[in-house]
Amino acid sequence: MAKYKIGFIGCGNMSGAILKGALDGGVLKAAEVAVYDISPVANEKAASWGVATKDSSSALCQESEMVVLGVKPQQAPEMLAACKEALEDKAALSIVAGITVERLQAMMGDNTRILRVMPNTPAMVKEGATVLCSDSTFTKQEQALAEAIFKGIGSVEWVPEKLMDVACGLSGGGPAYVALFIEALADGAVKQGLPRAQAYSLAQQTCLGSAKMLMETDIHPGALKDMVTSPGGTTIEGIEALERGGFRFAVMDCIKAASEKSKKL
Ligand SMILES: NC(=O)C1=CN([C@@H]2O[C@H](COP(=O)(O)OP(=O)(O)OC[C@H]3O[C@@H](n4cnc5c(N)ncnc54)[C@H](OP(=O)(O)O)[C@@H]3O)[C@@H](O)[C@H]2O)C=CC1
Ligand SMILES: O=C(O)[C@@H]1CCC=N1
């Protein structure tokens, strides 16, 4: 029996968000987790949460039941070369964007089981949207453990590997697009004279409330829009301005660009 339930290689923005959400939500206990990161800042952050930090990726892999690969795509080959042997017969959960199971398997050897995952940063506050790849060599038990961890910090969807790039384009990068939208809403209100703090507060709550309303009722997004849009009213003026700026095309094109980049990584 391994000493740690889960080990993280790389504990930056995304792994850090997963770990923080899982610890805060009681999905994982600090004693069940270890981290190995080449960055002292990331190690200090993990240590401040009560999590063990290791001196090498090999030590981390040997002592962990399941290992999260949490480095940038460009850093993955070097990272995996350092712990290939230690990953033998282990379950490796990769959050690395764009790197296929086939490429991961080639870098790790045939005896490592793999599950690709596309998480997102709201995992930090237990509101993540995680996509798990159904083309996996994890055992049923390991798949269930991974699903339980991510369900503890938000929602989980399973998709085949061919849809992992779209998942990256939509939910993986989505928090950045939503943040941009919130910032733009607030900037627009500040231009019209609203104080900055109130502008952010209203923009954030409006996005949260609208998403919650769609999730908790059967109301279609188009119907929600119609509910707000009085004939000859103010909202239709705003919608016309958005459409003049190519809003919907820009958003669709954004998902296309991000998904295509994921394919090329
Ligand atoms: N950020 C996000 O919103 C999302 C990211 N992802 C994926 O998650 C992965 C990590 O992204 P993110 O957290 O943003 O990246 P970060 O750069 O924030 O975190 C990666 C961490 O790993 C460290 N690191 C680099 N090489 C090694 C190594 N060989 N061994 C151990 N640690 C190492 C880095 O140190 P240093 O800084 O010194 O290089 C850094 O601390 C990426 O593959 C990305 O595609 C997926 C979904 C969403
Ligand atoms: O931009 C990136 O590389 C990562 C992948 C998914 C979200 N952010």
The arrangement of strands across the sheet holding 64-69 comes to 52-53, 33-36, 4-9, 64-69, 91-94, 113-118, 128-133, 154-159
pLDDT for res 152: 95
Ligand 1: centre distance to CA 36 (Å): 12
Q: What is the DSSP letter of 123?
A: G
Q: In a mutational test of the pocket of ligand 1, which residue from 8, 18, 38 has the highest number of ligand atoms less than 8 Å from its CB?
A: 38
What pLDDT score was predicted for residue 198? 98
- Indicate which atom in ligand 2 lies nearest the CA of residue 118: 6
What's the confidence (pLDDT) of residue 1? 75
4-168 is classed CATH 3.40.50.720: yes
Tell me: the pLDDT tens digits for 126-164? 999 999 999 999 999 999 999 999 999 999 999 999 999
CATH architecture of 174-264: Orthogonal Bundle (1.10)
Is the pLDDT score of 6 beyond 80?
A: yes
Mean residue pLDDT of the chain comes to 97
Q: What is the percentage of the chain residues whose pLDDT exceeds 90?
A: 99
Question: DSSP of 131-193, one letter per residue?
Answer: EEESS--S-HHHHHHHHHHHHTTEEEEEE-GGGHHHHIIIIITHHHHHHHHHHHHHHHHHHTT
- Model confidence over 217-261: pLDDT tens digits? 999 999 999 999 999 999 999 999 999 999 999 999 999 999 999
| Domain residue ranges of the chain, discontinuous segments joined by + | 4-168, 174-264
Atom of ligand 2 nearest to the CA of 265: 3
> Does the global pTM surpass 0.90?
yes
